[in-house]
Each structure stands twice: as structure tokens, then as C-alpha cells.
Amino acid sequence: MGKYILRRLMTALPSLLGISLILFVLLALAPGDPFGELANNSNIPPEVRAALRVKFGIDDPIFVRYVRWLVAMLQGDWGFSFASRIDVDKLILQRVPTTLFVVGSSQILALAVALPVGVYAAMRPYSIFDQIANTFAFIGFSLPTFFTGLLLILIFSVNLGWLPFVYRTDIPSGGWHWYLEYFKQAIMPITVLGLFQAASYTRYVRSAVLDVIRLDYVTTARAKGLNEGKVVIKHVVRNALIPVVTLVALQMPAVFGGAIVTEQIFRIPGIGSLLITSILANDTPVIMAVTFVFACLVVIFNLLADIIYGWLDPRISYG
């Protein structure tokens, strides 16, 4: 198992390098020297400006600049934010846990909804339950997250007044009350993101189970006299989950995209809303770093999916 994980890590590295290369080329192609804000300031005399350009290496060949930028990123030297004048890595580290909490809980919610519904629908294909589930799945992934978010705010915050619509990290009280408040403010963002994902996962689970449930080994398991619950959980679902894990991993970029929107609607202080505010403030170092962090998160979750894949499917060799 250790070797297998190591090998997956080795294949994840080239994709991270590729992503960093794409990011850097984009930045280099962009007109107007985004990193050269200081060097282009008209209050600075030309000779100082020339010295600054040499110091930051703006006129060096692009490949040299890429290697230097990559080395700096790897050493944790991410520059400092133009807007808030603090180190980019500190700014991001403050906010990553919130994003991971919201994304993680919404994924758990999505799977908790999608697995039972998808399996049950596939056991009775084209039944009434299946058709209702299918219709809801269609509605679910046709509703963009920004619209469902606004609808929930309209219903539960504006009309009913049950839930707060601004996410706060500085809840004044402590103890039980703190947990209650935290839970209450997290309900809506997690529901919005979770149900959106649940809609497409339900369809994946359903078709994966449908592919498996007709195989001979399932009939054999039934013929041996196993009860239906055991057949479904131990024989069908375990095998059906293999393609589902792959599809969930492929959804990761979309999940983090949805997280950006949700964070923006509910004003959650995560890295998604950091990205939007820094774009509005022309804060290039932060934008680059956040995009790179998102890329890393996607790669890490893909890696995780590969590991789960190896655990689910005994046919994969760890050699």
C-alpha cells in the first residue's frame, strides 16, 4: 500500500508542475507587467526603476523567471499582499480551514443523500421512486448554486428569519451556544453546495449500480441465500463505488468552483472569497497564490480518490 501511494504521489507531481507552468505563462503573457507595479510607479526615478527591474529580474528570459518563481513558491516565499500588506501565506493559511470545513461537510452531505437514493433507484429502475429521484436530480444540477443560495436566504433568513445569512468567525458567546450558532450559520452554505453535488452524484451512483446489479456474481450471491441487504451492501455497492469514486474525483474542480460562489453569497471568510476580493483589489500575488492553492487542493483530492480506489478494488496491484 505504501508503495502504491508513493507511486501515485510521483504521478501527481508532474500535474502540479504543469499547472504551475500554465499559471506562470498566463501571468507572463498578460499585458502590463502585473508583478511590476512597483517598477512602473511614476514617482520613482528612471534609474531606480531600472535597478528595480534588474533586481526583480523582469527582463530575464521567461524560463529563468519561471524557475525562480517556482523555487520561491516551494520555499514558502509567496510574497506579500499589495492590499493588506501581510504575507500571502499567512493570509491564506488563516482562511483554508474554513473552506475545507464547508467543502468537506457538503461532500459528506452529498454522498449521504446520493448513495441511498441512487442505490434504491437503481434497484427499481423506471419505478415511480426512480423517476421522481431522476427529476429531482435534473432540477438539482440545473439550479446554479448562486440562485439556490439566494432562494434559501430569501426563504429562511428574510421571510422566516430562522438562520443568519452572514457567516461570522467572531461569535461572541462560548460553550454550547457557540457550537449552536456556528452550526446554524453553516447550514445554508453546506446545504446549497451539498445538494448541488448530490444531484449529479445520484445519477452516477444509479448508473454504476445498474451496471453491476445484473452481473452473474450478484445472482450467485442471492442464490447462496444471502439476504438482500447483504447482497446490496457487500457485493453490489462496493463494486459500484469504483467508477463513482473516479467521477467524484473528476467533479473536484467544479466543487471548488461552487465553493467560491457559495463563499461569496454567504460572505464566508474562506479562500474563495479571498480570491474575489483580491481580484477586485488588483492584488496579483494573492490571486496567483490562491489559484495555485486551489490547484493543489484539486490534485490532493484526486490523490485521495486514487487511494480510496486502491482500497475498494482488490484487483489493483500495489507492487
Given the rule CB under 8 A, which residues bind other proteins? 15, 18-19, 22-23, 26-27, 29-32, 34, 125-126, 138-139, 141-144, 146-147, 150-151, 153-154, 158, 210, 250, 253-254, 256-257, 260-261, 264-265, 275-276, 279-280, 282, 287-288, 290-291, 294-295, 297-299, 302
Least Å from the CB of residue 35 to other proteins: 11
DSSP class of residue 38 equals T
Q: Which is nearer to other proteins, 123 or 171 (CB)?
A: 123
Q: Which is nearer to other proteins, 51 or 139 (CB)?
A: 139
Q: Which is nearer to other proteins, 50 or 155 (CB)?
A: 155
For residues 82 and 281, give the distance between their C-alpha atoms in angstroms, rounded to a whole number. Answer: 9
Q: Which is nearer to other proteins, 182 or 277 (CB)?
A: 277
Q: Which is nearer to other proteins, 56 or 146 (CB)?
A: 146
Least Å from the CB of residue 47 to other proteins: 28
Q: Annotate the chain with three-state secondary structure.
A: CHHHHHHHHHHHHHHHHHHHHHHHHHHHHCCCCHHHCCCCCCCCCHHHHHHHHHHHCCCCCHHHHHHHHHHHHHCCCCCECCCCCCEHHHHHHHHHHHHHHHHHHHHHHHHHHHHHHHHHHHHCCCCHHHHHHHHHHHHHHHCCHHHHHHHHHHHHHHHCCCCCCCCCCCCCCCHHHHHHHHHHHHHHHHHHHHHHHHHHHHHHHHHHHHHHHCCHHHHHHHHCCCCHHHHHHHHHHHHHHHHHHHHHHHHHHHHHHHHHHHHHHHCCCCHHHHHHHHHHCCCHHHHHHHHHHHHHHHHHHHHHHHHHHHHHCCCCCCC
Least Å from the CB of residue 133 to other proteins: 14
Least Å from the CB of residue 285 to other proteins: 12
Q: Which is nearer to other proteins, 11 or 173 (CB)?
A: 11
Q: What's the CA angle centered on 59, arms 54 and 61, to 5 degrees?
A: 125
Least Å from the CB of residue 143 to other proteins: 5
Least Å from the CB of residue 175 to other proteins: 32
Q: Which is nearer to other proteins, 79 or 125 (CB)?
A: 125
Least Å from the CB of residue 114 to other proteins: 17
In DSSP notation, 84-127 reads T-SBHHHHHHHHHHHHHHHHHHHHHHHHHHHHHHHHHHHHSTTS
Least Å from the CB of residue 155 to other proteins: 10
Q: Which is nearer to other proteins, 253 or 310 (CB)?
A: 253
Q: Which is nearer to other proteins, 27 or 221 (CB)?
A: 27
Least Å from the CB of residue 136 to other proteins: 12
Only one residue has cell 474562506, namely: 270
